[in-house]
Amino acid sequence: MCTAMTLETAQGEVYLGRTMDFSVTLDPSLYFVPKGYRWGNLAATHTVRNQYSFIAVGQDASPVVFVDGVNEKGFGAAVLYFPGYAYYDPLDSGQDTRPPIASIELMHFLLSQCTDVDDAAEILRTIRIVGMEDTVTESVAPLHWIMADKSGRCAVIEKTKEGLFVMDNPIGILTNSPDFSWQITNLRNYSNLSPWQMQDKKWCGVQLPPFGQGAGGFGLPGDYSPPSRFVRTAFQKSHADSCSTPEEAVITGFHLMENVSIPKGVVMTDRNTADFTQYTAFIRLSTQEYFFTTYNNRQITRAAMPGIREEEPAIRSLGKLIRPITFDEFPG
């Protein structure tokens, strides 16, 4: 599971946010990866040299698997689960000479090579997305991706049996399955929803006033399935007050994400494990700033892209996301 969205201020500042919902307890860190860093693809066929520095949240799975991030050009991306629909190219390419990039390393590849959404769309045609097991789930994870840049462009990447699709995402939202096109079509079922109060109705002479405020949103789905989270986020994002400052944008973004955050025990897998929101992050793309909270610590933490150290050849951990909670004392 997971929900991702973009948010744009009145001044055109773009943010990319996501919830990380997972049924395996993670220990994520924030990493800095410098320009010029070289790494071998998991298929052991090519060496990639990073064109741009980036910061990203990842899990050290030998190698580090990145799940969301932003690079020095203001290009950001996040990966989400896509079960039942993701379909990758075979590792054995036959006559296809394009380099294979595993789905779990595509985040690293995109953040290190792309300047914006259009650039990413072109670069994606030069590689093959293949499936390889990761050590976190011990499986070939079914994935799709959302990407955005500081200009406000947003797109979705899906690799299915029908091929590779890079689709404009004007609503700036992504959850999980079904595919993105289906999710957009499904919004039409909820076009009657409104933030405005319903007016009194009269049936057969009987006056029917609404039950208090909020009746205009009656029918908004409240469960945690991917289609419901997509609709709920789309409705609330569409009607939330416009943000004028970076502070307002961050606060609004976290409020919107709270409506799809999952407490432990509310969603259980068939393995009897809880699928819950382990962290929530928002990224200010133009300044490469991260803002995040974790399940046990709702205090918003800020982190920024560090400067490059001379002759820095390796990935650098900036620290764990999971931090001890502290309570401010009320000055009474």
Active site residues: 2
Locus of tokens 């307002």: 248
Amino acid identity, residue 236? Q
DSSP 32: E
Q: Are 303 and 318 in contact, with CB atoms under 8 Å apart?
A: yes
- The answer to whether the beta carbons of residues 275 and 269 sit under 8 Å apart is yes
Cα gap 8→172, rounded to integer Å: 10
**Distance, CA of 48 to CA of 107 (rounded, Å):** 13
Radius of gyration of the chain (CA): 21
CA atoms within 13 A on the CB side of 211: 2
Helices (H), the chain: 106-113, 117-124, 180-186, 226-239, 246-258
Q: Which residues contact 171 (CB under 8 A, 6 or more apart)?
A: 184, 187, 234, 237
With beta carbons less than 8 A apart as the criterion, state whether 35 and 92 touch.
no
Q: How far apart are the first and last CA of the chain?
A: 42
Residue 266 sits at φ, ψ, to 5 deg, of -80, -30
User: In angstroms, rounded to a whole number, what is the distance separating the alpha carbons of residues 141 and 14?
Assistant: 29
